[in-house]
Amino acid sequence: MGDAVEGLFISTASEDNTTCTVQDLRTGTDLMRYKGGGCAQHHGLATIRLNYVFAANSAKPLLHVWPINKQEQMAGLRFVVPGKVNALALTPDGSFLVAGIQETIYLWHLNSGRMLNTLSKHYQAVTCLRFTDNGEHFISGGKDGAVLVWDLTFSAAPLDMAGGKDSTEPLYSFNDHGLAVTDLYSGIGGLRSYLYTVSLDRCCKVYDLCGGVLLLSVVFPVALHSVIVNKMETKVYVGSGDGKVFAFHMDKAPRMKEYHLEEEEIQAFVGHTAGKAITCLALNLSATSLVSGGEDNQVCVWDVDSRQLIKSLPQNGSVTNLRIYLLSPSIFLPEHKQPQLFADSLKRMISPRDELDGIDLLVDEEYHEGRKTPEMDFTQSYPGTDAEIIRKLIADMNTGKDEEGEAEKGESESESAAEEDQSEPEEAESEAEEEVESGADEIPDVEVSREDFETALADSTDDDDTPSTSKTNGVDVQKLLAENARLKEESKRMFEIMFKFISSDGVASSGKPNRKKSRQTQ
C-alpha cells in the first residue's frame, strides 16, 4: 500500500465526451477519463468495489458502465431503464441497485438483472438516494420534502401481511422539511447511526435512525445544496446556494431542538463564485482536506483546520458528483481483468419468481417458537478475570445447535453422576444396617462397630467435611462426593459473578439517558 493515493472522481455537466475524470487529490494529475456516457446526473455516480464505474445519463433513460481500467464503456452492455434517473445508489457489495425515476424508486438485483420491486411513496420526484454503511437500509429524499428510510429486505421481498398491511411501507417517514431535499448523509453504524439532511428551506436536520426521531434542526441564512460529515461526526459541512461552505460543530450542539445560526457564528469557506450553489462536497480519508464543487465550474480543495484554499481545479461544466476513494494507480493498467459481478441487462418489469429464487428452511420443533438462548454449562471451569469470564459466556451464547447439544449432554451426565452419588451412600447405609442386624451375634462389640460405621457414613455423606477413602460396591465414594462438592462450588461462584456483572451494569447505565425507542413509522 505504499503507492496508494486518494483518487478524486469528478463528473460535470459539460458537453464534451468525458463523463467522469479521476485525479490524484494530492498532485491534481489525471489518472483516468471515462468517455462516451454524456453528462452524469447529479447524485448519479457510483462504483462497485473499485472494479466498475456506474453513471446515470442526465438526458436519457440509460445507465453507463465502465471497467475501472478502461476509458470506453463495456462492449455489448446496455442498461436501459424505464425513465431518466434522478438519483441512484448501490449496496457496498454491489448486489443491489436502487434508482429514483420521477417519484418512483426502482430496485434491481444486479447479479441476475431482475427488477425486484417499485416503491411509490414520494409525491414528487426523488432527488437523492443513499445506503447505510452496512447496506441493510437505504434512505430517499424528494422534492416533496420527505425523507423516507427503507428496509432493503422487505423492499426486495415483500410479504403478505395480515390485515392487508403493506410490507413495503417505509420504516420511517420524516416530513420536517418544507422544500425539496437536496442531499443527505448517513453515519457509521447502520440503523444505529445519525442521518443528516439538507434542503432548500435553509435547514440541516439531524435524525436518530435507531429511534426514528428528530434530534436537531440547524437553520442557516441561505438555502443548502450539499452536506458531508467527518467520520467522528463532530463536524458537519454544508454547501450553500451563495457559493460558501459552512461548518457546524456537533460537539458544541445547542440544547434546543431548533437553532438559528447567525452570520457571525458561522465558519465559512470562501473561494467559490458568489451566488453559485455548492452542489457537491467530499472529505479525504483523514478528514484534513475538504473538496467542494459548484455551479461555477470549479473544484476547490480546502484545509479543514485553517479554512484556507489549497488549490482550485477548473472544470468544463458545473460539478455534479464528487467521490474520494483510496486506490492504487496500478488498478488503471489495461492488462488487469475485472470480474463481471452483474447481468448484461436490467429487466424493465417485475418478473415473476422462479422456483429457485427461494431458500428452503427446515424448522423443527425446537425452533418453532423462536431462537432460544443456550443455557450455561456450570460443569466447566472458566479461568481468568470476571470480565473475561463474562465475555466468554456471552460469546458462547451465539454458538450453534451442536455446541448447545453437547452442553446439555454434559449437563445431563453431571446430573446423573450426582444422582448416583446420592443414591449409592443410601444403598450402602441400608445394606450395612441389614448386615449389622443379621450378624450381631458374630461381632463381639456391636455398639463400637456400629458407632464407627455410622460416623464414617455420616462423614461420607456430609458435603462440608472430608469424605472417607472407603469404597462401596467397587465405587470410590470419596471421588464422587468431591466432584459433587466441586460442582456446587463452581455453580455458586458463577452465579455470584453473573449477579455482580448485572448489578454493576445496571448501576452504570442508570445514570445515562436511554435514546433507544421503539421502532415505529411516523
Confidence (pTM): 0.68
Is the pLDDT assigned to residue 22 strictly greater than 80? yes
46 pLDDT above the threshold of 80? yes
The answer to whether residue 374 scores a pLDDT higher than 50 is no
Average pLDDT over residues 189-208: 94
Question: What pLDDT score was predicted for residue 467?
Answer: 44
The whole-angstrom distance between residue 115's C-alpha and the CA centroid of its chain comes to 25
pLDDT of residue 49: 86
**Quick count: other Cβ atoms within 10 Å of Cβ 372?**
9
Say if residue 382's pLDDT is above 70: no
Which of 156-170, 337-351, 495-509: highest mean pLDDT? 337-351
What residues does each domain of the chain span? 5-332, 386-433+452-509
How much is the pLDDT for 243? 93
Residue 448 has pLDDT above 60, yes or no: no
Q: How high does pLDDT run on average in the chain?
A: 79
Averaged over 441-468, what is the pLDDT? Answer: 46
Domain 5-332: give its CATH superfamily. Answer: YVTN repeat-like/Quinoprotein amine dehydrogenase (2.130.10.10)
Q: Given pLDDT bands bounded at 50, 70 and 90, which one contains residue 402? A: very low
Bridge partners (DSSP) listed for residue 62: 80
User: How confident is the model over 116-135, as a mean pLDDT?
Assistant: 94
Lowest mean pLDDT among 54-68, 81-95, 360-374: 360-374
Task: Give pLDDT, residue 320.
Answer: 95
- Cβ contacts of 130 within 8 Å, gap of 6 or more: 89, 138, 139, 184, 185, 186
Q: How confident is the model at residue 261 (pLDDT cuts 50, 70, 90)?
A: confident
| Residue where the block lists cell 448486489 | 95
d(CA 235, CA 250): 6
As a whole number, mean pLDDT of residues 318-327 equals 94
Residue 164 or 21, more confident: 21
- The Cα–Cα gap between 19 and 13 comes to 8
Give the integer Cα–Cα distance in Å for 13 and 40.
Answer: 7
175 pLDDT higher than 90: yes
- Residue 417 pLDDT class (50, 70, 90 cuts): low
The better pLDDT of the pair 326, 460 is held by: 326
pLDDT at 522 over 60: no
**pLDDT confidence of residue 156:** 86
For 493, the enclosing helix (H) or strand (E) is: helix 477-510
Rounded to 5 degrees, what are φ and ψ at 352? -65, 155
pLDDT class of 167 with cuts at 50, 70, 90: low
- pLDDT of 146 reads 96
Q: What is the pLDDT of residue 435?
A: 46
Strands (E), 49-91: 52-57, 62-67, 79-80, 87-90
Beta-strand runs (E) in 315-407: 319-327
Is the model's pLDDT at 20 over the cut of 60? Answer: yes
Bigger pLDDT: 303 vs 17? 303
Does residue 25 contact residue 301 with C-beta atoms inside 8 Å?
A: yes
Q: What is the pLDDT of residue 357?
A: 56
Residue 305 has φ and ψ, to the nearest 5°, of -70, -45
Q: What percentage of the chain has pLDDT greater than the value 70?
A: 70
Residue 16 in this model has a pLDDT that exceeds 90: no
Give the range with max mean pLDDT: 148-152, 430-434, 484-488.
148-152
Percent of the chain with pLDDT over 90: 49
Split at pLDDT 50, 70, 90, the class of 312 is very high
Helices (H), 366-400: 386-396
107, three cell numbers: 430496485
Would you state the pLDDT for residue 103? 94
Residue 7's CB is within 10 A of a number of other CB atoms, namely 22
Give me the pLDDT at residue 358, please: 53
Least confident piece of the model among 138-142, 184-188, 351-355: 351-355
- Give Cα separations from 260 to 4, 22, 150, 219, 252 (angstroms): 42, 38, 30, 5, 14
